[in-house]
A and B are shown apart, each in its own frame.
Chain A
Amino acid sequence: MEKTTNCKSPRTYRIVGPQRQIDERETPHFRARRGELGERIKVLRQPQIEQDAFKRAISDGKMKGDMHNSLQQLFLQMPQGAVSPERLPVSDPVAMSQKIKEAARFYGADVVGITYLDQAYVYSHRGRGCSADGEKPGDPIDLPHKYAICLGFADDFDRYMTCNSEISGLEYQMGTKRTLIPTFLLATYIREMGYPARSHAHSRLEVNTVALAVTAGLGELGRHGMLIHEEYGSRLHLAVVTTDLPLAVDEPVDIGVEDVCKICMKCAQTCPTYSIPFGDKVIVNGVEKWAINVDTCYKGKLSARGKYTNCLTCITSCCYHKRSSWWHTLAGRLLKKIPIPLRPAYIKPLLWMDDFIWGKKPRRRMQWMGYDNAPSPVACNIPGCIAKHKPQELKPLHEIPQPKRQYSFNTSVTEKGGARP
């Protein structure tokens, strides 16, 4: 599929060829459920009753009793409302954009951006559907809307810092739920103005939220395959409202992620499953970007031995993941002001300070609501096993691969590879 909009290209990914629309059923959740990532992860993904009532309250429908106790299940089955027959004329799309952004913040979004809806980022077929809307899994998706309003919801910094634990897992789950109501309200507001709109939030998405958020200027694409926002790092949950309401679009931003990710590599060093590349960008589906191994990232859940948690290690190790503070804001703003060729000289000392102050593998101990993220022994169900199993947080950091030196006849040295410059 050719690019369907004329958005300016972001620095962190480049369209280099035709893009194929992705079928939602090709994404890891669906593949895992079908058993394509192995039998054990399939069993883990099957609905199981959560033993902990606090987790059940925000879980994805793993209820003991009535499924109406699950917010996600309610939203999954909620039909999209009809468009009001009275259409409000829009003479000034810029003013309307400001109004929509203010409304989105009022409903609960932390960051908002608007872009054209590029059809390359619309799924070709749906993975699940809302029966109340007559949808079923496998249906082709027809989403002709012109604009995508991208919303970001920031999760709690401290609870994320307990990464790969029940606490960070609960914060992540709660983050997915935070997207539901504001997105629903924003789509409703637009439909009430007489324009078609559809909300795309947790578990009910027809679009690739990360790609749209980058083009909408919410941040840039990091080495770890996620959006990096200059204030919130990657602890943003993303949602989208697509619409035909006339709006003014934002442009992709340059906040220096391209320059930082080339040097930093902290996420690649800390990723428990070696899923984040140390090397250069590669071309995937017509897009040149750093490509993570989604299969191994997903299978990493198995290492938790039945405690279904979200890893989040790459998010917390990212140097952009900081509590909101004047020095963090100042460092980010200065980086944007510096000409691109001079940025490495500014970034390297900052990364040294980041390692020194926050650690090479940032993680904090927390006791909260009866949960404790202290490292616990790894359960092994092989009787008499003598292996030295360790929890993820005690595993060593991965070494950055050193470049191979290639000597030519005139003895000059050339370096090529993914090592820290």
Chain B
Amino acid sequence: MTHVITAACIGAKHKELSCTEVCPMNCIHGTATDAILYIDPEDCIDCGACVPACPREAIFPAGDIPEKWQDFQQINADYFKDKR
């Protein structure tokens, strides 16, 4: 189980980054050219600290993602393939 960043983050990450400040595992990453920030599922401990920190309400537990953003779980995981 992990937390997932969804489409609501699009366009917001460069201003906020508040989730990255509170994440105890420092497992939220993203570059200036990425559409959203991404949570590394391997390191995420499912603490949920990032959820209230996100002003866009873009972060959900994997089992609680709205239907329309279900594919973001795979998008988050795929981002870290070949990067670690």
- A residues near B (Cβ < 8 Å) are 38-40, 272-274, 295-296, 299-300, 302-303, 305, 378, 380-390, 392, 395-396, 398
Contact = CB atoms under 8 A, between A and B. Distances in A.
Given A299-B25, A390-B26, A395-B22, A383 B31 contact: yes
Contacts of B73: none
B56 interface: no
Interface of B: 13-14, 17, 20-22, 24-26, 28-33, 37, 42-43, 45-49, 83-84
Given A299-B45, A388-B20, A382 B25 contact: no
A273 B22 CA distance: 11
A273 B26 CA distance: 11
A296 B42 contact: no
Contacts of A382: 29, 31, 83
A380 B26 CA distance: 9
Contacts of A302: 25, 43
B20 A387 contact: yes
Contact of A388 (B21, B47, B48, B84): B21
A273 B28 contact: no
Q: Tell which of B25, B26, B37, B48 has the most Cβ of chain A within 10 Å.
A: B26
A-B residue pairs, 4 tightest by C-beta: A387-B20, A384-B31, A274-B47, A296-B45
Contact of B24 (A40, A295, A386, A392): A392
A386 B17 contact: yes
Contacts of A386: 13-14, 17, 30-32
Given A299-B45, A303-B24, 4 more contacts: A38-B43, A382-B31, A384-B33, A386-B30
Q: Chain A at the B interface: mostly helix, strand, loop or mixed? A: loop
Nearest to A39: B42
Contacts of A390: 21, 26
B42 A300 contact: no
A387 B30 contact: yes
Q: Tell which of B13, B45, B49 has the most Cβ of chain A within 10 Å.
A: B45
Contacts of B49: 274, 398
A388 B26 CA distance: 8
Contacts of B32: 384, 386
B25 A385 contact: no
24 contacts: A40-B42, A273-B24, A273-B45, A274-B45, A296-B45, A296-B47, A299-B25, A299-B43, A299-B45, A300-B24, A300-B25, A302-B43, A378-B26, A380-B26, A381-B83, A385-B29, A385-B30, A386-B30, A387-B26, A390-B21, A390-B26, A395-B21, A396-B21, A396-B22
Contacts of B46: 296
B29 A380 contact: yes
B6 to A, nearest CB: 17
A17 to B, nearest CB: 27
Contact of A40 (B28, B43, B47): B43
A289 B49 CA distance: 24
Contact of B28 (A38, A303, A387): A387
A280 to B, nearest CB: 19
Contacts of B33: 384
Contacts of B25: 273, 299-300, 302-303
B76 to A, nearest CB: 13
Contacts of A295: 45
A259 B30 CA distance: 45
